[in-house]
Amino acid sequence: MAFVRIWIHSVWGTKNRYPYLVNDIKQKVINHIKDNAKQKEIFIDSINGYHEHLHCLFSLNAEMSVSKAMQLIKGESAFWINKEKMTKEKFEWADEYFAISVSESQLDKVRIYINNQEEHHKKITFTDEYEKFIKTYKFNSQG
């Protein structure tokens, strides 16, 4: 048996950063993502977000890649949101996402950051936050 614990902090937004995740929609989507992830053997530790994006701290199992986990989370949740007619227009997540590994020593810091998204986004927009992630982790300099 393989024992694997790889922590990932992922962030993804709605298509065109449209604020679909308002009122009770955000919590319903989060609850659904958690339930679906359990069935797919993706362990979600923390998930939260704001009107146009979500942050998720999850752990991969031995057979799961980051891209597969994101496909299962994003694709299935968009399908479910549309099936349930939770938005007036067709719901879509943006194609891109951000994902970075997290060391065990930083888990509490990341959990606090994810759980305080409402307060955090009173000070910084998602666009500014996303650009900061790209710059901080040097994604724009990859070849």
Q: pLDDT band for position 141 (50/70/90)?
A: low
Q: Domain total for the chain?
A: 1
- Evaluate whether residue 28 is within a structural domain: yes
Q: Assign residue 23 the CATH number of its domain.
A: 3.30.70.1290
Which residues are CB-neighbours of 104 under 8 A, at least 6 positions away? 7
- Evaluate whether residue 18 is within a structural domain: yes
Number of neighbours of residue 133 by Cβ within 10 angstroms: 14
- Evaluate whether residue 11 is within a structural domain: yes
- Evaluate whether residue 1 is within a structural domain: no
Instruction: For residue range 26-83, list pLDDT tens digits in order.
Output: 999 999 999 999 999 999 999 999 999 999 999 988 899 999 999 999 999 999 999 9
Dihedral angle sign, alpha carbons of residues 100, 136, 114, 24: negative
Number of neighbours of residue 135 by Cβ within 10 angstroms: 11
Domain span holding position 107: 6-141
- Evaluate whether residue 103 is within a structural domain: yes
Instruction: For residue range 108-124, list pLDDT tens digits in order.
Output: 999 999 999 989 888 99
